[in-house]
Structure 1
Amino acid sequence: MSEFDEFDDFDFSLPTTHGARQAYRALVQGVAAVVPSHGLYAVRDISALGLALLAPCDAFVDGEHFRLDLFVDGEPYIEGLLAHVVRRCDAGLVACSFDGPNRAQEEHLDKLVLEVQKRQIAERKAAEQRNEESKETTRDIGADERS
């Protein structure tokens, strides 16, 4: 009996629900997708499973399959991703799901989403730090005025 046998019955699977997001979707800046059959579009958000393009709703057809290349800050990042349209919104968003990315593409997608998350966490911490410093400055000024 191993010291880790108590974990054999533990289940790490997540329940699947229709309509619910199954992966963290990160809002991105500086990411673009080139769809050779359609053109260049800014990417609004991305996950390991798909992305949302800022595109006119009539630029794509529901269920349409296509190949795309992702660029980060103008530099090629992932080439030849297969995707299809899941939903088109009136707000100029086209939601797409990836169709079986290969291992290298998956790794690049995971890295991109992780880097975006790390940047968002750093920005949030910096904002919290500035807010805290602002509060301390306000308290110090108030204390000086009472003296």
Structure 2
Amino acid sequence: MNKLLFTYEADSDLPRQAYRARVPGLLGKDVATQAVYLVRDISAGGISLEDPAGALKTGDALKLDVLIKDRTIIAGLSAEVARHVEAITGLKFTGLTQHQEQRLDKLVLEIQKHLISKLKHGGSHIDDEQTT
């Protein structure tokens, strides 16, 4: 029997506001600087990016395109850097259009459906080392 697994952030005292999905190969591109970051996870409320150089600073506002396989799947997301911990930068989305919100919701839902399907068919759960 397969067990359903979920993750949590042990060092955070704030509850999660939305389900966070992980997609291998998902990228975030800063529209202004054209800098490309590997996406650690994404939700309807925000995104976390791998930023080992520390280019993004708390409070920075930017427009972000989300890409997979060099194809933009969601364009021009307004975001603000909420935190930077080690090489991971967390951004919260701000002022999204209804279309952008719908695209984010659809992306996260499709990822959830894919993971559920994998679990039902004997696949493994891809996630952090902190699983319960």
TM-score band, normalised by the shorter chain? 0.7 to 0.9
- Say which of 70, 78, 92 aligns to 1:97: 92
The residue number in structure 2 matching 1:66 is 62
Higher relative contact order (CA 8 A, sep 6+): 2
CA–CA separation in structure 1 for the residues paired with 2:34 and 2:91:
14
Kindly state the Cα deviation for residue 59 of structure 1 after the two structures are TM-superposed.
Answer: 1.1
Kindly state the Cα deviation for residue 108 of structure 1 after the two structures are TM-superposed.
Answer: 0.4
What does residue range 1-147 of structure 1 map to in structure 2 within 5 Å?
A: 19-36=14-31, 37=33, 39-56=35-52, 58-90=54-86, 92-127=87-122
Q: Could you tell me whether the CA contact under 8 Å between 1:62 and 1:87 is conserved in 2? A: yes
Secondary structure at 2:109 match in 1: helix
Q: Could you tell me whether the CA contact under 8 Å between 1:45 and 1:52 is conserved in 2? A: yes
Secondary structure at 2:54 match in 1: helix
Please give the per-residue CA displacement for 1:111-136, whole angstroms capped at 9, x wherever unaligned. Answer: 000011011111111226xxxxxxxx
Aligned length: 110
Q: Which amino acid aligns with 1:47?
A: S
TM normalised by structure 1 equals 0.70
Structure 2 spans left out of the alignment, 5+ residues? 1-12, 124-132
Structure 1 spans left out of the alignment, 5+ residues? 1-17, 129-147
RMSD: 1.5
TM normalised by structure 2 equals 0.77
Identity, in percent, stands at: 39
Greater helix fraction, Structure 1 or Structure 2: 1
Of structures 1 and 2, the larger Rg is shown by: 1
Please give the per-residue CA displacement for 1:38-83, whole angstroms capped at 9, x wherever unaligned. Answer: 6001111000000100112621111111111111232111111100
CA–CA separation in structure 1 for the residues paired with 2:37 and 2:54:
14
